[in-house]
Amino acid sequence: MAQNIEEFKGALSVGDIGIIPMQSCTALGDKVNQYIVDWRKERDAVLHPAGPQTKDSYLIKAECSRFGSGEAKGTILESIRGMDLYILVDVTNYSITYNLYGQENHMSPDDHYGDLKRIITAAAGKAKRVNVIMPFLYESRQHKRSGRESLDCANMLQELHNLGVENIVTLDAHDPRVQNAIPNSGFDNLMPTYQFIRALFHEIPDLQVDSNHMMIISPDEGAMNRAVYYSNVLGLDMGMFYKRRDYSRVVDGRNPIVAHEFLGSSVEGKDVMIVDDMIASGESMLDVATQLKKRKARRVFCAASFGLFTKGMSLFDEYKEKGIIDKVLTTNSIYQNPELLKRDYYVSVDVSKYLALVIDKLNYNLSISALLDSSAKIHEALNFYNIYHK
């Protein structure tokens, strides 16, 4: 059992729970639903022995159908009156297609976000509360203004707030300060640090987790806080690269990186774990890995919450064959290409249980503070690992 049943004694739910996984998020939604079903049946046997109050599924059927012109409408196919509704969406899922004037068109983040709004408006105020679970925050990389630019992420958050969404749950936001756009709404930024460490411990049986044999690396300034947390809870040293960019030109919407400069102690002979929020093309992460190998690092593990792999896996295959990288870890919170899952060096980090725990507690208005800070669980996992692998 993943939870303390005593915590739920006397707790009242906001309403009957309803989970709507958008088409982009069906696999994750199914796993989340199954965890909640199992936990509630176990709790029910203790707290309500006179009669069951749980269901075999909390999934609500919904769909977004499209016309040949690309226009769409959202439809909820079951009653949601009085429910505490949780809508799961993966705005990065490019595998879903639709017909547009006779041509096959892949859904973009804009399409997924549009469908999310359609389902929210289809609820038409009948749900008691609407919550959005959006692991990859839509337009999260466009979170601040430099010159005459749009503020897409802030606009999205305000739009969801105006549509009546009370809580937004995301995973490892690119910059969590974007929540300042909706100061009066619920915004929870989950960090899957424990899930990554557990997955690494499971995959690598001969790690020596101490400052003499292992190190945490931040690939740039933006990932510093994440790397500091890892290093503090594991008791490791930390190093950082900073990106030297060419500000005289723009390529693919950004100033190209000229070089990665390193700040930190020696990595020679050490296992290193590069931690970041996302891998897009992967070029930046692989360049950092190359620099670490030149500095005689022992093994290089690349860990990021979101594996977008926008340019495919061929470059990662090449760097694996050259011995530059050893493992690549990303979560299953967004779409994973089947080709990605075939790689023997790839590790899928499962966060479905984590999301289910958050949803289950939010439904009872219970505190999720313990879920936001996983340092105690990390120390427990580290102690177990050190004992088991001695």
pTM above 0.85, yes or no: yes
What does each of the 390 residues of the chain score in pLDDT, given as a tens digit?
446 788 888 888 899 999 999 999 999 999 999 999 999 998 888 877 755 567 899 999 999 999 989 999 999 999 999 999 999 999 999 999 999 998 999 999 999 999 999 999 999 889 999 999 999 999 998 888 888 889 999 999 999 999 999 999 999 999 899 999 999 999 999 999 999 999 999 999 999 999 999 999 999 888 888 999 999 999 999 999 887 777 777 877 767 777 777 888 899 999 999 999 999 999 989 999 999 999 999 999 999 999 999 999 999 999 999 999 999 999 999 999 999 999 999 999 999 999 999 999 999 999 999 888 889 899 999 998 888 776
- CA–centroid distance for 186 within its chain: 18
User: For residues 327 and 298, what is the distance between their CA atoms, to the nearest angstrom?
Assistant: 13
What pLDDT shows up at residue 88? 98
Distance (Å, whole) CA 66 – CA 101: 11
d(CA 243, CA 246): 10
Alpha-carbon distance 169 to 132, whole Å? Answer: 6
End-to-end alpha carbon distance in the chain: 28
Write the CB contacts of 373 (distance below 8 Å, at least 6 apart in sequence): none
Q: Say what the pLDDT of residue 51 is.
A: 56
State the DSSP string of 85-98: EEEE--TT-TT-EE
Return the pLDDT at 112.
97
